[in-house]
Amino acid sequence: MTDAKPILVDSHCHLDFPDFADELPQVIARAHHAGVARMVTICTRLRNEPAVRAIAETYPSVFYAAGTHPMSAAEEPLATLAELVAFAQHPKMVGIGETGLDYHYSAASADVQKTSLRIHIQAAQETGLPLIIHARDADDDVAQILAEGLARAPYTCVMHCFSSGPALAAAALDMGFYLSMSGITAFPKSSDLREIFKTAPVERILLETDSPYLAPPPHRGRRNEPAYTAFTAAKGAEVFGLPPAEFAAQTTANFNRLFTKAALT
């Protein structure tokens, strides 16, 4: 008999953010104690790539992805295909993004966001690494651009921190992509979102924190951290009607299938 915790993965966090600067070793240790065996920390501005890469190089359980966040697309130099492909040669660089479209805060930069997204899609196609998509108030355009890219060449993709509507969920799943559960899924008022997840194959679900944002209950309103993946996993098991250990194993297997460079062997 063992009381070992299920192996979990936080597929999307931001460990380079100032929120963690004073206690990053402790944050990662707490994640391990909670059963989180791997974390993918996300670079949202390419000028920060060296610092994000350094975190992944320092901690064996941490990997990283790099891209230009859509809310930063108008403020940052446009990413090039060549530099994204070059970053991808690093053994711990495992994903392209986050990229995508955000019209909630940044609708004025829609055109440059679309250009940036298309470049990131090309990088995912060129490297074979999964694309990491942020979508907010832009469901139709996101679905259209992702489908246009897929018509040109195959690539894999995860809809990070999925909280959009059922149409984008269905479109993403039809394209063979993955949906990622964040702490939003565990919010009491997120019943509609939980219903959307119920319609998805459990083989296409990932877990994430998006920390330091979106802490799930019982930590809502405070800083999020990778250890809290366990709370979202518990709610996800409830949504899919699975024992917690089975849901954890399934989502970890899903991560291994999508993020092959970070797969636990």
Give 137-167 as a DSSP string.
S-HHHHHHHHHHHHHHS---EEETT--S-HH
pLDDT digits (tens, 9 = 90+) for 14-56: 999 999 999 999 999 999 999 999 999 999 999 999 999 999 9
Distance CA 5, CA 32 (A): 10
Round to whole Å and give the CA distance between 152 and 235. Answer: 37
Domains in the chain, number? 1
Residue 28 lies in a domain: yes
User: Rounded to an integer, what is the distance from CA 130 to the centroid of its chain?
Assistant: 10
pLDDT for the residue numbered 5? 75
Q: What is the mean pLDDT of residues 186-192?
A: 96
- For residue 3, being part of any structural domain is answered with no
Angle ∠(115,104,136) on CA atoms, nearest 5: 70
In tens, the pLDDT along 165-183 reads 999 999 999 999 999 999 9
The CATH number of the domain holding residue 22 is: 3.20.20.140
Query: If pLDDT is split at 50, 70 and 90, which confidence band does 264 have?
Result: confident
In the chain, the percentage of residues whose pLDDT exceeds 70 is 98
Assess if residue 76 is contained within a domain.
yes
For residue range 96-114, what is the model confidence (pLDDT) as tens digits? Answer: 999 999 999 999 999 999 9
For range 52-63, the mean pLDDT: 98
Could you tell me if residue 1 is inside a domain? no
Round the average pLDDT of the chain to a whole number and report it: 96
Residues sharing a CB contact under 8 Å with residue 229, sequence separation 6 or more, in sequence order: 8, 9, 10, 31, 34, 36, 207, 208, 209
Residue 120 domain boundaries: 8-262
CA neighbours closer than 13 Å in the CB half-sphere of residue 201? 9
Q: Is the pLDDT of residue 1 over 80?
A: no
Q: Quick check: is 211 in a domain? A: yes
**What Cα–Cα distance (Å) separates residue 94 from each residue in 2, 22, 130, 208, 265?**
32, 26, 8, 15, 15
Query: Per residue, what are the HEC states of 3-24?
Result: CCCCCEEEEEECCCCHHHCCCH
Evaluate whether residue 60 is within a structural domain: yes
Sorted by sequence, the CB contacts under 8 Å of residue 10 that are 6+ apart come out as 31, 36, 38, 39, 40, 207, 208, 209, 211, 226, 229
Spatial contact of 48 and 76, defined as CB atoms under 8 Å apart: no
Going by their DSSP bridges, the two strands 205-207 and 178-181 should be labelled as parallel
132-147 pLDDT tens trace: 999 999 999 999 999 9
Per-residue pLDDT tens for 65-82? 999 999 999 999 999 999
The answer to whether residue 171 sits within a structural domain is yes
Q: What is the pTM of this model?
A: 0.96
Question: Is 2 inside a domain boundary?
Answer: no
